[in-house]
């Protein structure tokens, strides 16, 4: 509990807070005599129509402010820390943790491992439950924080302790029982990071069988292959999955998908796109992904991209963009992607140029030398690899990079290379493409999307 209060970053003009002379730099200590633990306490307590705020001014003077307002009316306060509390770091030492596989010398924030259930609700992060106390469970139930995203890995308690390198990791699974008990209505999404020879095969079947019992609270489970960088010296020996392994994983998942569809009308367990690529199988149709609820785990991203592209291409062919003439259009551009999505981007580029013959697209596959060739997702590409592998190539008038190569809300890639650094080194304009299939077409053609 923070007895020093919560630093106020800004106050909305015309708000209740401004009327009460609350200003940036003040600290909120309590509401109605109760100390505020975090943003959930705050949002819950400010709903009342009558409030007593204890505010501490920068000089230490404390003001007790009576507020009368409409129910749910906002005070107009923004805090310095959006969570209003310190982020909880991970207490595990997971054998598959990607942060442990990062090279030294990168930005300090990239090495922070969070394991905070509140971020699960706010940002969709996955948590292991090992940091979660009974008090945390009580607050989740009280405030009905849902959905909660849980990184299960396995339901075998002993194996979970081994995989997370935490002797409490097996016991932590019992917290799910409390979250789903008594018709709580709390929704959970699950994740299993699969490690070859560790939690696959019979262990995967056991885990999915155990997790199925948590339905319908447990809405979905994604199964993703462990990511292995080249920086694994001194870490648990893990091997990459091969084609036969992937086929076996998909077969197991399909068993549970069929069972879930018969009993609940959804597919419950989802294989990340990478499994189909390793297995050399086509990406399933959209219906298998239900509501695309596991998209952030790489589940259904390719299918959604292709379907959005098909729809946008049909719009283009039907003449929906009245000011655009595909026959007279001329442009040479380039784009770049990781190995995993590269064949699909090539196919999209080919089909687009068939409709717009004057458009020349150079699609460049970037090998991830920074993290190692086993890392094939576009989101982990670095600026230095892009620069090194595109230097001297004919890139046309613009290089288009997908938005997921950038750190959230920034113009920097993972290795602190800025977009302007790429422009300077390659002597070309760089534009960022949003992730959708329609965005691919509109970006390359320079259309604004208004029909």
- Report the half-sphere exposure of 87 (CA within 13 A, side-chain side): 15
CA distances (Å), origin 26, targets 12, 13, 21, 36, 50:
14, 16, 10, 15, 21
Q: For the chain, which residues score pLDDT lower than 70?
A: 1-3, 83-89, 108-124, 449-451
- Report the half-sphere exposure of 120 (CA within 13 A, side-chain side): 26
- Whether the bond between 147 and the residue before it is cis, its omega within 30 degrees of 0, is yes
Instruction: Provide the pLDDT for residue 450.
Output: 58
State in Å, rounded, how far the first CA of the chain is from the last one: 54
- pTM of the full structure: 0.82
pLDDT in tens, 251-310: 999 999 999 999 999 999 999 999 999 999 999 999 999 999 999 899 999 999 999 999
- 10 Å CB burial of residue 227 (0-12, 13-18, 19+) is buried
Instruction: Provide the pLDDT for residue 1.
Output: 47
- Specify the pairing of strand 27-31 against strand 6-11: antiparallel
Give the burial string for 109-130 (b: 16+ CB within 10 Å, else e).
eeeebbbbbbbbbeeebbbbbb
Side by side, which strands form the sheet with 188-194?
148-151, 188-194, 218-225, 269-271
Q: How far apart are the C-alpha atoms of 195 and 95, rounded to whole Å?
A: 9
Bridge partners (DSSP) of residue 334 are 362, 399
**Mean pLDDT computed over every residue of the chain:** 90
Question: DSSP letter string over 315-330?
Answer: HHHTT-STT--TTT--
Instruction: Provide the pLDDT for residue 137.
Output: 86
Instruction: Provide the pLDDT for residue 290.
Output: 95
Block residue for tokens 């892009």: 386
- Whether the bond between 202 and the residue before it is cis, its omega within 30 degrees of 0, is no
Instruction: Provide the pLDDT for residue 89.
Output: 66
Instruction: Provide the pLDDT for residue 240.
Output: 95
pLDDT in tens, 73-113: 889 999 887 766 666 667 778 898 888 888 877 776 665 66
């Amino acid at each position: 509990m923070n007895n020093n209060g919560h630093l106020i970053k800004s106050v909305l003009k015309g708000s209740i807070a401004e009327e009460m002379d609350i200003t940036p730099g003040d600290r909120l200590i309590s509401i109605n005599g109760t100390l505020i633990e975090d943003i959930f306490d705050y949002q819950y307590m400010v709903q009342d129509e009558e409030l007593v705020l204890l505010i501490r001014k920068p000089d230490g003077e404390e003001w007790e402010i009576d507020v009368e307002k409409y129910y749910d009316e906002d005070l107009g306060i923004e805090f310095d820390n959006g969570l209003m509390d310190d982020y909880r770091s991970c207490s595990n030492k997971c054998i598959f943790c990607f942060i442990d596989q990062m090279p030294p010398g990168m930005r300090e924030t990239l090495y922070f491992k969070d394991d905070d259930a509140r971020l699960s609700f706010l940002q969709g992060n996955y948590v292991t439950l090992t940091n979660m106390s009974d008090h945390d469970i009580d607050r989740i139930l009280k405030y009905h924080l849902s959905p909660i995203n849980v990184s299960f890995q396995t339901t075998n308690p002993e194996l979970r302790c081994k995989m997370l390198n935490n002797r409490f990791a097996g016991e932590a699974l019992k917290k799910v029982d409390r979250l789903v008990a008594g018709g709580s209505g709390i929704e959970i999404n699950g994740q299993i990071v699969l490690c070859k020879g560790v939690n696959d095969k019979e262990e995967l079947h056991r885990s999915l069988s155990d997790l199925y019992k948590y339905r319908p609270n447990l809405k979905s489970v994604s199964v993703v292959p462990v990511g292995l960088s080249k920086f694994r010296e001194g870490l648990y020996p893990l091997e990459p999955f091969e084609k036969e392994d992937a086929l076996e994983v998909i077969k197991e998942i399909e068993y549970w998908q069929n069972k879930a569809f018969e009993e609940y009308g959804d597919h419950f367990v989802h294989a990340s796109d990478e499994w189909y690529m390793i297995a050399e199988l086509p990406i399933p149709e959209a219906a298998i992904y239900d509501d695309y609820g596991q998209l952030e785990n790489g589940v259904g991203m390719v299918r959604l991209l292709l379907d959005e592209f098909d729809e946008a291409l049909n719009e283009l062919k039907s003449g929906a963009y009245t000011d655009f003439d595909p026959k007279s259009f001329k442009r040479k551009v380039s784009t770049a992607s990781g190995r995993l999505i590269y064949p699909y981007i090539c196919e999209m580029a080919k089909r687009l140029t068939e409709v717009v013959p004057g458009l020349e697209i150079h699609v460049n596959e970037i090998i991830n030398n920074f993290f190692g060739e086993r890392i094939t997702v576009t989101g982990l590409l670095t600026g230095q690899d892009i620069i090194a592998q595109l230097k001297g190539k004919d890139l046309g008038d613009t290089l288009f990079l997908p938005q997921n190569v950038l750190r959230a809300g920034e113009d920097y890639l993972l290795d602190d290379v800025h977009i302007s650094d790429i422009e300077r080194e390659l002597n070309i304009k760089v534009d960022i493409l949003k992730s959708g299939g329609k965005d691919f077409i509109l970006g390359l053609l320079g259309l604004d999307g208004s029909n």
